[in-house]
Amino acid sequence: MTDSLKHRAISILKNNDRGSHTIPSGHLYPHQWAWDSGFAAIGWAYIDIQRACLEIESILDGQWEDGRIPHIQFHNPTPEYFPGPASWGHEKSSSISNPPVWTIAAERLHQLGADPARIKSWLPRIEASHLFLGTQRDPLGWKCIATCHPWENGQDNCPAWDAPMEAIDPEEAPPFQRVDTKKVKDASQRPTEIQYNRYMTLVHRFTKNGFQIDTTADYDPFFTTMVILAEEALARLAKDLGVPSQAGERAKELRAGLAEHLWSDELGRYRYYDARSKRYGENATSGSLAPVLLGADMPGQARMLESLRTDFSAPFGLPTVVPQSPDFDPVCYWRGPTWVNMNWLFSSVLGQDLVDSTLALVEKSGFWEYFHPHTGEGLGADDFTWTAALVLDLLASRDAN
């Protein structure tokens, strides 16, 4: 099994390779997405470490002057994906950011033997990308990270955005034609028309507003956790490579902000917070348990682990929404399905069982974008880059154990 999985993963990465970056899937996503590319770099490290470094460099090459790493770079504009540059008001990229997986990947590449001098040259740009998130994605000064669009944290139509989105006028966006629903086998695996209209209203407002976050901001425990993991990876890299950095201090402040503002002792998990309505969102998503990845000094560690092992238990990996919740939809993306990148992240606390079940799932169903957590059916796009890349890392971690 291991050899054929490995060969299939390698051939998917090679097919999705566009020279300096890897597209998530030839069929549905023909551009470069920042967090996808971070995961791809980890996979490339098992094939060609120089190519892995190139992947990180191509993410950093898209950086704006204000430090933001855009969530999409349009190297070759094509009508095969919507929304393209015209909607974003920027010729080469989108204008929102993404979880800083590029930093987590940089540390992994360092561990896997990449040239330290090359990694060192990335650190100022990585630091700037974190400073952007820490200052421009914290409108209330809470020392937590908010997202200005559901696409920014990569978990697009996660139910946490349902309430904040109710206030967004779906008619405000200029007319458009979406492409995604024509490309999957069943349109119910994608967001509804009204959701998509609201996404586009937000894109329209954001580009008109000089790309600055306004009160449409959702504080997010998943995004905050990802930034903390990235800050701590940067702090370790900076120390190792002899580069000054404030990343460790920023991570401490974020840990405190996350515990103070988003932890709920009553629920036993972290909440979202809509800065416009000033209301907390109590959605039971795997993202609401992501602070479990930060270790025992965050509140709720034992309760969150227990909840992951019981409420979130499913035959095929970790569902993104708790199956008992009314928000749960096992086939609609980010509203219930299992994702390999989430399994990969959570395997650091759930251990070998999740590694093994994730590998078995991909072996059984293929390298899909996401999976039905009860049947294991592959959903969304096939031959998906981060599924392939992270399978390579999971195989290596299994072999090491």
180 counts as binding ligand 9WN under rule CB under 6 A: yes
| Catalytic option among 138, 156, 218, 383 | 156
CA distance linking residue 270 with residue 264, whole number of Å: 6
- Interacting span for ligand 9WN (CB under 6 A) from 7-15, 150-158, 266-274, 318-326: 150-158
- Interacting span for ligand 9WN (CB under 6 A) from 33-41, 58-66, 211-219, 311-319: 33-41
24 counts as binding ligand 9WN under rule CB under 6 A: yes
DSSP H helical segments within 288-373, as ranges? 301-309, 340-350, 352-365
- Interacting span for ligand 9WN (CB under 6 A) from 85-93, 125-133, 151-159, 237-245: 151-159
Nearer to ligand 9WN, 188 or 352 (CB): 188
161 counts as binding ligand 9WN under rule CB under 6 A: no
Nearer to ligand 9WN, 80 or 180 (CB): 180
CA distance linking residue 30 with residue 80, whole number of Å: 7
* Residue 279 dihedral angles phi and psi, to the nearest 5°: -120, 145
- Binding track over 68-87 against ligand 9WN, x by CB under 6 A: ---x----------------
Nearer to ligand 9WN, 107 or 156 (CB): 156
152 counts as binding ligand 9WN under rule CB under 6 A: no
Q: Give the HSE-up count for residue 133: Cα atoms under 13 Å, Cβ half-sphere.
A: 34
156 counts as binding ligand 9WN under rule CB under 6 A: yes
287 counts as binding ligand 9WN under rule CB under 6 A: no
Nearest to 340 by CA among 321, 325, 355: 355
Nearer to ligand 9WN, 179 or 360 (CB): 179
Pairing relationship of beta strands 146-147 and 218-219 according to DSSP bridges: antiparallel
Run of H or E residues at 37:
helix 34-44
Run of H or E residues at 130:
helix 116-136
378 counts as binding ligand 9WN under rule CB under 6 A: no
- Min CB(353)–ligand 9WN separation in Å: 25
Run of H or E residues at 146:
strand 146-147
35 counts as binding ligand 9WN under rule CB under 6 A: yes
Known catalytic membership, residue 369: yes
DSSP H helical segments within 262-319, as ranges? 301-309
Identify the DSSP state of 371: E
Cross-strand pairs, 36: none
Cα-Cα-Cα-Cα torsion 231, 237, 239, 243, nearest 10 degrees, comes to -90
222 counts as binding ligand 9WN under rule CB under 6 A: no
Nearer to ligand 9WN, 204 or 255 (CB): 204
Known catalytic membership, residue 356: no
| The residue type at 195 | Q
Q: Which of 151, 211, 222, 263 binds ligand 9WN (CB under 6 A)?
A: 151
DSSP H helical segments within 137-246, as ranges? 162-166, 193-208, 221-241
* Residue 10 dihedral angles phi and psi, to the nearest 5°: -65, -40
**Binding residues vs ligand 9WN (CB under 6 A):** 24, 29, 33, 35-36, 71, 151, 154, 156, 180
Catalytic residue annotation: 156, 369
